[in-house]
Amino acid sequence: MLNKIKYMLVGSPLPNRMLEDKQLNKIRALAAFSPDALSSVAYANQEIYLGLVVAGASGLSLQLPIAGAIILLLAIVALSYAQTIRGYPSGGGSYVVARENLGTIPGLIAGGALLLDYILTAAVSLTAGVAAISSAFPGLWPYRVWLALFLLVLITLLNLRGLKESGTIMSIPIYLFILCYAVMIFYGLYRAVVQGAPAPLSSLAPAAVEPLSLLLIMHAFSAGCTALTGIEAISNGIPSFKTPQWKNARTTLGIMALLMGFLFAGSIGLTQYLGVIAAQQETILSALARTLFGSGPIYYLIQFSTLAVLAVAANTSFAGFPRVTAILAKDKFMPRQLFNLGDRLVFQNGIILLSGLTAALIILFNGDSHALIPLFAVGAFSAFTLSQAGMVIHWYRLKEKGWLIKALINGLGALVTFVALMVIGISKFFEGAWISTLVIPGFVFLFLKIRQHYQAVSKQLSMSGLPPSLRPLPKPRIIIPVSGVHRGVVEAVNFSRSISDSVTAVFIDIDPGPDEEELRRRWNAWFPDVKFVVVPSPYRSIVEPLLTYLDYTDSLNNDGQQAILVLPELIPASPTQEILHNQSADQIKKALLFQRRVNGFQRIIIDVPYHLQ
């Protein structure tokens, strides 16, 4: 039943030969990997506006200069990652580059920073999308957490179906968003040319509540740097592209960077030129659209496209996070299950893990994207810096033709992203950035502990030190817990007699009475060669008396015989009938599986199912 529900929601399993068919062309790849980067214009503009509006007109007049600095930073980072794509066409992005060139710890810092960035990207995108639509429909604001969680479930299911399917579906909101915002920007430019300059900003802006200062400018700049999050996703997902993979990935990165620059500069330039001021519980882009188009259908279409792109912006995380966790798992820094491809040829365990962590953040921060933003850019810019520094070492080691120019490009990228990281860390430290400075080292500690565990397991499983020929054990002694004399125990008894001459059936008596003698008589009639033992249970427990009996028999002199517990287990005809049975076999297995050797004996469990009609 559960499998049927699963297949209905995410589709039936796919064979390995279809893996190549699931790779993305540039149109689908842009939709799969760029939603976060393209949609960041929505919340980056908002954060710049909120950072400067407290300084009144003098603060708002700096919106465009700050945007210009961020666009320059965008160009440098995009050019640097184009180099990364060429240098590491197998994917992995910041983690692989940093680990191979700077060492294990810097690589793990980059990996932890990336994972944190992806989790926050998903949470911020969904909550910002709900904020956008709540600007148009204020009645939805009290339900923002539930709306964000609903969108999260939809995106999770889409990604569980497969990357190609999610890329196809994501294409609709992505290209709708680009079209709507291009129309809004070009129309705004037309109005600016035809109608001329509006009233001066000083007459439109609210009164200043704080003086314009360097710290305030740094704060606005660092908030706007969230526009760059997601730009590294393409370098992480190069294997998802159709061949030639690295060329298609680099072309897609260039297109994404150009679109980001156009949307960011156009929208924030119009906001400043037109002197747009947002109302309470309204985003600045909602106010811009309302200023240009009023409250008609076009305004609502723009708000819907903003919601849609912000909702699917989380898809960048769902495309990148599972792949990074899979690479970490392959290197034994995360649980191995994260490296396994699921039924639909996607890393489904990574998708489910990301979904759970994102849901926790949405609930913890009450669906408020503004509260999540301060945690946001630290992880992204930490990964940027380490990746670009690693690429400098990479080119220096190879010294191929043109290596010096390539190293200079990545060196410039490392320098500017490090400066931006310092600005973000200082200006946002007490607003929540300090949390990131604790979470990332926490991730590194966790990675190292997981790796340590796997190394210890590998050492314990090593055949080194064992004699070349192992001594055969004597025939084991068998213990069969039984609930009565019925067909369900027959196969278990017959199997036990086939491998051992010492078989004992154990009945745990939770209700003493005259029926005990009748049960013993019936057992001896059917299985006279099998010893039958009744163990009283004064506290009506099944597991504890059985364990006590096993301990007692193990303590006897058994000439080195291995103890084996053979469990007759009734299997109902359908899963819904399982609730009608007491699951005693499961309780016994759970109690015994994690027991270490007792009195020198390792207890072995053999399950013998009996399927009911």
What DSSP assignment string belongs to 59-116?
A: HHTTHHHHHHHHHHHHHHHHHHHHHHHHH-TT--HHHHHHHHHH-HHHHHHHHHHHHH
Cα 507 to the center of its chain, rounded Å? 48
Count CA atoms closer than 13 A to 516's CA, side-chain side.
14
Q: Quote the crossing angle between the two packed helices 163-195 and 245-273, to the nearest 10°.
A: 30
Residue 197 has what pLDDT?
A: 61
3-state secondary structure of 580: helix
Are the CB atoms for 274 and 291 separated by under 8 Å? yes
Cis amide prior to 441 (ω within 30 degrees): no
Residue 204 has what pLDDT?
A: 63
Residue 106 has what pLDDT?
A: 93
Residue 45 has what pLDDT?
A: 82
Pick from 485, 482, 475: nearest CA to 549: 482
For residue 422, give the amino acid letter. M
- Predicted TM-score of the model (pTM): 0.74
- What burial letters (b/e) apply to 199-215, b meaning 16+ CB within 10 Å? eebeeebeeeeeebeee
The domains located in the chain, with CATH, are: 23-454 (1.20.1740.10), 477-611 (3.40.50.620)
pLDDT tens readout for residues 224-261? 777 777 777 788 778 778 888 888 989 999 998 999 89
Residue 55 has what pLDDT?
A: 82
Cα separation, 312 vs 249, in Å, equals: 20
Cα separation, 499 vs 563, in Å, equals: 12
Residue 191 has what pLDDT?
A: 84
Are the CB atoms for 216 and 210 separated by under 8 Å? yes
Residues with Cβ within 8 Å of 504's Cβ and at least 6 positions away in sequence, in order, are: 477, 478, 479, 480, 530, 531, 532, 533, 553
Torsional sign, CA 334, 337, 340, 344: negative
Stated as kind and residue range, the H or E segment containing 536 is strand 531-536
Tokens standing for 59? 């603060």
Runs of H (alpha helix) within 514-601: 515-526, 543-555, 584-593
Are the CB atoms for 373 and 128 separated by under 8 Å? no
Percent helix, percent strand, percent coil in the chain, to nearest 5: 70, 5, 20
- What burial letters (b/e) apply to 24-63, b meaning 16+ CB within 10 Å? beeebbbbbbbbbbbbbbbbbbbbbbbbbbbbbbebbbbb
Classify burial at 295, counting beta carbons within 10 Å of its beta carbon; exposed 0-12, middle 13-18, buried 19 or more: exposed
Strand order in the sheet with 502-509: 531-536, 502-509, 477-482, 563-571, 604-611
Residue 25 has what pLDDT?
A: 80
Residue 450 has what pLDDT?
A: 94
Residue 86 has what pLDDT?
A: 82
Residues of the chain whose pLDDT is less than 70? 1-22, 91-92, 163-168, 196-205, 343-345, 370, 373-374, 376, 432, 468-471, 513-514, 557-560, 582, 596-601
Tokens standing for 288? 């811009």
3-state secondary structure 399-426: CCCCHHHHHHHHHHHHHHHHHHHHHHHH
